[in-house]
Chains A and B, each alone.
Chain A
Amino acid sequence: MTTFSPANLRNAPPQVAMMMMLGGYRVARAVWGAASIDLAAHLADGPRPIAELAKLTDTDSDALYRLMRALASVGVFVEEENGYFALAEVGECLSATAPDSALATVAAFGDPWHWQLWGDLTESVRTGAPAFDRRYGCDFFTYCQTHPELARRVNQSKTSVFGASEAAILDAYDFSGLTRLVEVGYLGGYGSLLAGILRRYPAAKGVLYDLPVVVEGAADHLAALGLGERLTAVAGDCLAQVMEGGDAYLLKGVLHNWDDERVLQCLGHCREAMDDGARLLVCEMPMPPGNDLFVGKFIDIESLLLTPGGRERTAEEWRGLIEAAGFRVSQVVPTAAPIAVIEALPA
C-alpha cells in the first residue's frame, strides 16, 4: 500500500491515496539530498558500509543511514543484509557519469531557490503572476543574465533531461535535405538536439543561437559533442533579432516560457530572418483536452511560477500564434515523447 503507483492509488482508499500523494515532497527531498552529497559517486565501485559513506560525504552516519534506508524503500538504493548500501538501477542515474544521468536535473529541481519557488505556489495562484518576480525583483530570464552560475545550472539540467525527447524527435521527424539548421534558444540548453541531428545527417551544419550568457559558457560543451566546425554558436537575443541564413529554425521548449506577446515577437524575428524556402520547427508539448494525466500540465504550473507569462498551449493555440506571425502550419508531427514537432512555412 505504500508503493506509489497509479494502480495502488486507484485501489487504495481515498485517504490513503491522498496521504501518499501529499507525502511526495519527502521522497523528492530525500532524492535531492542524496544527489546533493553525490552519494552515487561513492558507490560506483560497489557497496559500502554507512560509516564509510558518512565519512566520504561528511555527513552524520545515523542521519545518512536514515536517509538511505528511506531511499532503499523506494528503490533508489539497496540496503544489504550486512549493513552495506549499493546503488539500485534507479540510483545509478544519480551518478554524474552514467549515460542516463539525471543528477543535474535532480539537483536543479531541488535547488534551494527552486524549492522555495514552489513553496510560493499559492501566492502565484492568488495573483496569476510569477512568484519568482516577487521574490527577486525581476523576471527569471533577466535574473539569469546577471547570474551566470544559475544560468549554467539551469542550462545543464535542461541538456541532461532532453535526451529522451530528443531521441523521439529524431525518430519522428525527417530532417534530411536540411543543410544549415539554426537552433534558436533562450537559456535553452547546450545544443544537444542540434548535435543529435548533425550526427544522423552528416551533410548538415548547425548553429546554436542563444543568449550571450549561454554562448559564453558553451564552448566546452560544444567541443565535447565532437562535431568540430559543423556545430558553432552565435550569441544573440531572439526577442530582439534572429540570425539569418538557416534553412531550418528550431525552437525547442523556448516559446512556452513566454506570454503571447513575446511568442509573437520571437516568431516575428524568425520570420524576418528566414528565406521563403526555409522552415520553422517548433517543438512543444501540445496540451490534450480532458482529465488525463499529462506531464505538460505540471510543467505548466512551473511556467506559472517562474516565467513571464509562459504556459503550455493546445495544438490549436500554437497554430493560432504561429500563423499570426506570418507562417502556415504545414504539419504537426507527434513523437513517442509528449513533445510534438510543429512544422511551419513562411505564408
Chain B
Amino acid sequence: MVTTQPPGGGTAEANPPQAALIQMANRYRLSQCIHAAARLGIADLLADGPRPVADLAHAAGCHAGALYRLLRALAGLAIFEEQQPGTFALTPLARTLQSKVPGSLRASALVVGEEWHWRMWGELLFSLKTGRPAFTQLFGRDFATYAAEHPEAGALFNEAMESVFTLSDRAILDAYDFSRFQVVVDVGVAGGYGSLMRALLTRYPDLVGVLTDLPEAAPEAERRIASAGLSGRCRVVAGGFFDPLPTGGDCYVYKNVIHDFDDDQAGLLLGRCREAIAPDGRVLLVEMVVGGPNQPGMGKLVDIEALIMTEGGRERTEDEYRQLLASSGFTLLGHIATRSPISILEAAPA
C-alpha cells in the first residue's frame, strides 16, 4: 500500500529516523504473519520435509495463493525458506512454531493473535487515559474470570506461559545453585503448570518440592509432575492467592507471580511467605527486572501488557523490588542475571 521499511530488519542506527519509526509502527504485521502460520499449523505440516505450497494449503485448509504470499513474506525473515519456487521448508526459526518440540513457541504465537488479545491491545488508549485494564473494559470481567468461562482460552494462555517459562527454566537453573536447599516451595499462581519445579527436581535428585497452584490449574500441574515420574518427591497443594503457604521450605520461589499484583497485594503474598519460611531460608523472585532509563529490555514492553490486562500488575525495577521485599520483612541479597530476559532476586528474612 505504501513505500516503507519492512517490519523486520534494519536498526534505528542504520535507518533514517523516519524509516526507523515507520518500521517500528509496522512490526505488528510480522506478529500477525507469524500468528497466521502458527494457527494454520504450517510448521507441523513441514516436519517431514519440504512441501509444495499447493499441498500445504490443501492440508491446512487454506487458499494456496494466499498461503504462498504469507510464506514468501515470512521467508524474507528466515521463518521458512522457499527452497525451490513454490516449495517451502522449515528453518530454525520456523521450528519454534512446531507444536510438539522442546521450546515450542506455538502457543505464544497463537495467543498473540487470539481475538481477545488483539482487541485488548487495540484498546491501549483506554488504559493510557484511565490507568485501568483495557481487558476488563472490553469484556466486563477480569482475565482470570474470563479464562474460567472460556477454558480453551485459559488453557492456551497457560500453555503459552509454560512454553515461555520453560525457556527461562534452564537459564535459571544454570544461573543459580539450588543444591543447598532441602525443600523448595514453588508458589505458582499464574499458570505454567510447575515447569520450573519439574526442571529443578530433575536436576537435583535429592531435592523435595512443594508446588502450590490455583485450584483450576493444580490438577494439570499434578498430572505433569506425575508423568515426569516426580510425584514421589513433589506434593501439589491447591489454594487461593492469599491462602497461608505450606511451611517447612527453605526456599520459596515466586516465578512470574509478583508482577501480576499491585504493591499492596504483592505485600500480602510475600507476607504469607514470611510466615512460612525458615529463618535461614531464601525467597527467590524470578521476574523480568526493569532496567534503568533508556536501557533496552523486554520487561518494559511486557509491562504495558500488564497495564492493559491486569488490575495493578506491573514490571518493577530492582529498587522497587527491594522496597517491596523490605516492607514484607525481607532483605534483598542479590540480583542474579540469567541469559534469558528473566532475573533472579534473592532475599532472606530480615
Contact = CB atoms under 8 A, between A and B. Distances in A.
Interface of A: 1-7, 9, 14-33, 35-37, 58-60, 62-64, 66-67, 69-70, 72-76, 78-81, 89-94, 100-102, 105-106, 109-110, 112, 115-116, 118-119, 121-122, 124-129, 157-158, 161-165, 253, 257, 285, 289-295, 297-304, 306-307, 311, 337-339
Nearest to A70: B300
A292 B75 CA distance: 7
A81 B292 CA distance: 9
B12 A303 contact: no
B167 A15 contact: yes
A297 B113 contact: no
A25 B128 contact: no
Contacts of A110: 25
B20 A90 contact: yes
Contact of A14 (B11, B22, B93): B93
Given A33-B125, A93-B18, A162-B2, A304 B69 contact: yes
A182 B95 CA distance: 50
18 contacts: A16-B340, A18-B97, A24-B8, A26-B301, A28-B26, A29-B304, A63-B130, A80-B293, A92-B17, A101-B18, A119-B122, A121-B36, A125-B67, A164-B16, A291-B81, A298-B7, A301-B33, A302-B29
A161 B34 contact: no
A294 B76 contact: yes
A66 B341 contact: no
A164 B76 contact: no
B21 A76 contact: yes
A93 B1 CA distance: 20
Interface residues of B, number: 97
A70 B301 contact: yes
Nearest to B92: A14
A94 B21 contact: yes
Contacts of B290: 69
Interface of B: 1-12, 14, 16-22, 24-36, 39-40, 61-67, 69-70, 72-73, 75-79, 81-82, 85, 92-93, 95-97, 103, 105, 108-109, 112-113, 115, 118-119, 121-122, 124-125, 127-131, 164, 167, 290-291, 293-298, 300-305, 307, 314, 340-341
A306 B124 CA distance: 23
Given A31-B25, A93-B21, A293-B76, A301 B69 contact: yes
Of the listed residues B118, B293, B305, B341, the one surrounded by the most CB atoms of chain A closer than 10 A to its CB is B293
A296 to B, nearest CB: 9
Contacts of B21: 31, 76, 90-91, 93-94, 102, 106
Contacts of A5: 9-11, 14
Contacts of B3: 161-162, 164-165, 253, 285, 295, 337-339
A278 B42 CA distance: 49
A37 B301 contact: no
Given A37-B128, A100-B18, A299-B1, A28 B28 contact: yes
A74 B128 CA distance: 19
Contact of A59 (B16, B79, B128): B128
Given A116-B122, A118-B28, A126-B62, A105 B294 contact: no
Given A19-B105, A22-B108, A33-B125, 9 more contacts: A2-B341, A6-B9, A26-B302, A62-B131, A109-B25, A122-B39, A125-B40, A128-B63, A294-B76
B28 A25 contact: yes
B105 A66 contact: no
Given A164-B3, A301-B29, A302-B1, A25 B121 contact: yes
A26 B288 CA distance: 16
- Interface SS of chain A: helix
Contact of B295 (A7, A73, A90, A100): A73
A27 B113 CA distance: 15
Nearest to A21: B30
B2 A15 contact: no
Contact of B121 (A29, A129, A291, A294): A29
A234 B119 CA distance: 40
A28 B65 CA distance: 28
A10 to B, nearest CB: 8
The 10 A-B pairs with the shortest beta carbon distances in the complex, nearest first, are A24-B27, A128-B63, A60-B131, A79-B293, A25-B28, A5-B11, A28-B28, A25-B31, A165-B3, A293-B76
A2 B5 CA distance: 20
A304 B305 contact: no
B2 A253 contact: yes
A81 to B, nearest CB: 7
B26 A298 contact: yes
A76 B36 CA distance: 29
B105 A2 contact: no
A293 B22 contact: no
A91 B24 CA distance: 11
B78 to A, nearest CB: 7
A122 B307 contact: no
B294 A119 contact: no
A300 B294 contact: no
Contacts of A289: 85
Contact of B31 (A23, A94, A112, A122): A23
Nearest to B81: A291
A257 B1 CA distance: 7
Nearest to B95: A14
Contacts of A294: 6, 76
A161 B2 contact: yes
B31 A79 contact: no
A23 B7 CA distance: 12
